[in-house]
């Protein structure tokens, strides 16, 4: 049984400029001990999606279901959510410097987290536990460093302290929101190793939100690619990397270093993500898609099974057999596009082909 089952989750915000449709009917599930990577450019809705699960989107209109361990988080009162936050579901944010309070010692902040959920724990017991946790996540001399302030820790150590705080109450689910973005490559690898080790030890489920497909390649079991508030493609990590279907997923893979087909040059995705207030009609990706066809301008594709196994799903009108970067799949895509493109779609495709590379976006 899934630990978290999200069904048709929608989150929107009323603003002076109009309604921001940040999340538009997303469904997914996470099993105990497994890692789901949620990938997309900035503004794709991945952070709002996960924050809405914990009631961290004030002013947001939320609908749908998010059943965690038998409890629907959508519409749950704030006291019940407070009991779940930290204890059952922990969050690791991107920037530990802004997540840790600069005026309190690191150890105090960890022990406070423990005591906030269990009043029977004394200050001394919580401090001992904080020392154990800091040692467990690889902070050297934890008995001394427990009394340091956040500015006395390096970036990697601060993120380790955040992870110590996240695991302090043995949560069933950890949401890691870009936890390695602010770190250099070596420290990033250490943090990912640490998360994997802790997950193996405790069987915790992990929701890894990232714009970095390299992180997903390291850590995820399954991947959901988000675009304009919706899931564009969902599959196992292997299918996403070797048998991807959606042109946006293909674009993401081509825009990261070392996977470019253009002899080491990054291939940007043309254009920029759309405004979530004024979304394009039809497929939201059509103004940037090299395979745009007539029906893409009017009809929004549903997330539907592709390939031979039902677990791989994509929201795209291209044939379900057009999988992966190989020449056969490309031929299928080309023939489908030739038969399905006329008038306006031809103009959009020509504009995409002529767009300067510098105006596109890479997410690496
Ligand atoms: Fe491209 Fe059309 Fe597929 Fe959208 S539905 S990704 S525009 S081919």
CA distances from 326 to 250, 310, 332 (A): 11, 21, 10
258 and 201 together in one domain: no
Distance CA 299, CA 305 (A): 18
Ligand 1 atom at minimum distance from 291 CA: 8
Per-residue pLDDT, 271: 83
Predicted confidence pLDDT, tens digits, the chain (364 residues): 799 999 999 999 999 999 999 999 999 999 999 999 999 888 889 889 989 998 888 889 999 999 999 999 998 988 898 889 888 999 888 777 778 899 999 999 999 989 988 888 999 999 999 998 999 888 899 999 999 999 999 888 888 888 888 888 889 999 998 888 767 777 788 888 888 888 888 889 999 998 888 888 889 999 999 999 999 999 999 999 999 999 999 999 887 776 545 556 677 888 888 999 999 999 999 999 999 999 999 999 999 999 776 789 999 999 999 999 889 999 999 999 999 998 899 999 998 888 766 565 554 4
Residue 262 DSSP symbol: B
Q: Is the dihedral of CA 151, 155, 156, 158 positive or negative?
A: positive
pLDDT, residue 169, reads 87
Check residue 242 and give its pLDDT: 93
Domain membership of residue 227 (yes or no) is: no
| 187 and 332 part of one domain | no
231, part of any domain? no
Q: Which domain holds residue 309?
A: 246-358
Residue 244 near residue 233 (C-beta atoms within 8 A):
yes
- Final residue of a domain: which of 186, 220, 254? 220
337 CA: nearest ligand 1 atom: 8
Residues 360 and 41: beta-carbon distance below 8 Å: no
Q: Ligand 1: which atom is nearest the Cα of residue 283?
A: 4
- Residue 39 and residue 87 share a domain: yes
Residue 323: phi and psi, rounded to 5, are -115, 135
DSSP codes joined into one string, 120-149: TS-HHHHHHHHHHHHHHTT-SSHHHHTT--
Residue count of the chain: 364
Kindly give the number of the ligand 1 atom that is closest to the alpha carbon of 295: 2
- Closest atom, ligand 1, to C-alpha of 289: 1
Any domain includes 92 = yes
**How many whole angstroms from 321 Cα to the centroid of ligand 1?**
15
Collapsing DSSP states into helix, strand and coil, what is residue 351?
Answer: helix
- DSSP 3-state assignment of 342? coil
Domain-located, residue 90: yes
Ligand 1 centroid to residue 197 C-alpha, Å: 39
CB 71 within 8 A of CB 83: no
Whether 306 maps to a domain, the answer reads yes
Token digits of residue 337 = 């596009």
Q: Are residues 106 and 58 in the same domain?
A: yes
- On whether the CB atoms of residues 41 and 273 are closer than 8 A, the answer is yes
Extended beta strands in the chain, E state: 4-15, 18-30, 35-39, 61-68, 71-72, 89-92, 173-177, 205-210, 222-227, 230-236, 304-305, 313-314
Domain boundary (170, 204, 220) is at 220
**Helix (H, G, I), strand (E, B), or coil: what is residue 165?**
helix
CA-based nearest residue to 88, from 42, 6, 46, 32: 32
49 and 196 assigned to the same domain: yes
132 and 57 in a single domain? The answer is yes
Residue given tokens 């850590």 in the structure block: 219
Domain boundary among 185, 220, 255: 220
How many domains does the chain contain in total? 2
Residues in the ligand 1 pocket, defined by CB under 6 Å: 246-247, 283, 285-286, 289, 291-293, 296, 301, 316-318
Q: Is residue 304 part of a domain?
A: yes
Residue in 231, 283, 351 to alter for ligand 1 test, most ligand atoms within 8 A of Cβ? 283
Task: Based on the fold, state whether residues 83 and 138 are members of the same structural domain.
Answer: yes
Tokens of 136: 């467990």
Q: Is 308 in the same domain as 184?
A: no
Report d(CA 196, CA 295) in Å as an integer.
43
Integer distance in angstroms from the first to the last C-alpha of the chain? 35
Cα angle 98, 102, 103; round to 5: 150
- Whole-number Å distance, alpha carbon 317 to ligand 1 midpoint, is 6
**What is the residue with the minimal CA distance to atom 5 of ligand 1?**
316
Provide the pLDDT for residue 364: 42
**Is residue 363 situated within a structural domain?**
no
Residues 290 and 152 in one domain: no
Tally of CB atoms within 10 A around 128:
16
Q: From the CA of 237, how far away is ligand 1's center (Å)?
A: 21
Question: What pLDDT was estimated at residue 332?
Answer: 94
| CATH number where 14 lies | 3.40.50.300
**In a shared domain, residues 140 and 102:** yes
Are residues 51 and 130 both part of a single domain?
A: yes
For ligand 1, atom 3, which residue shows the shortest CA distance?
316
Ligand 1 pocket test target in 274, 301, 313 with most atoms within 8 Å of CB = 301
State the Cα–Cα distance between residues 130 and 132, nearest whole angstrom: 5
Asked if residue 337 is part of any domain, the answer here is yes
Q: What is the distance in A from the centroid of ligand 1 to the CA of 299? A: 10
Whether 125 and 272 share a structural domain: no
């Amino acid at each position: 049984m899934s630990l978290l089952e999200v069904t048709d989750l929608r989150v929107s915000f009323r603003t002076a400029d109009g309604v921001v449709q940040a999340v538009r009917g997303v469904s997914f599930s996470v099993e105990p001990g497994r890692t789901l990577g949620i990938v997309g450019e900035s503004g794709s809705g991945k952070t709002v999606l996960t924050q809405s699960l914990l009631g961290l989107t004030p002013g947001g209109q939320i609908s749908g279901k998010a059943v965690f361990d038998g409890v629907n988080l959508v519409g749950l009162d704030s006291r019940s959510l407070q009991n779940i936050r930290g204890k059952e579901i922990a969050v690791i944010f991107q920037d530990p410097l802004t997540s840790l309070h600069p005026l309190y010692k690191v150890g105090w902040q960890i022990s406070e987290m423990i005591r906030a959920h269990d009043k029977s724990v004394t200050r001394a017991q919580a401090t001992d536990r904080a020392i154990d946790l800091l040692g467990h996540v690889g902070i050297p001399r934890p008995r001394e460093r427990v009394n340091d302030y956040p500015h006395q820790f390096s970036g990697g150590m601060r993120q380790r302290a955040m992870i110590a705080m996240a695991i302090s109450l043995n949560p069933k689910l950890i949401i890691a929101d870009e936890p390695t973005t602010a770190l250099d490559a070596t420290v990033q690898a250490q943090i990912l190793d640490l998360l994997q080790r802790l997950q193996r030890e405790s069987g915790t489920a992990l929701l890894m939100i990232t714009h970095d497909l390299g992180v997903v390649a390291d850590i995820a079991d399954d991947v959901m690619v988000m675009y304009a508030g919706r899931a564009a493609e969902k599959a196992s990590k292997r299918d996403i990397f070797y048998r991807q279907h959606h042109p946006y997923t293909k674009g993401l893979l081509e825009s990261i270093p070392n996977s470019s087909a253009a002899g080491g040059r990054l291939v940007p995705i043309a254009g920029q993500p759309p405004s979530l207030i004024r979304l394009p009609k039809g497929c939201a990706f059509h103004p940037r898609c090299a395979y745009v066809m007539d029906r893409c301008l009017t009809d929004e594709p549903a997330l539907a099974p592709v390939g031979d196994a039902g677990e791989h799903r994509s929201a795209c009108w291209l044939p379900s057999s057009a999988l992966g970067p190989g020449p056969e799949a490309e031929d299928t895509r080309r023939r489908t596009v030739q038969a399905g493109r006329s008038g306006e779609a031809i103009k959009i495709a020509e504009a995409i082909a002529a767009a300067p590379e510098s105006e596109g976006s890479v997410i690496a």
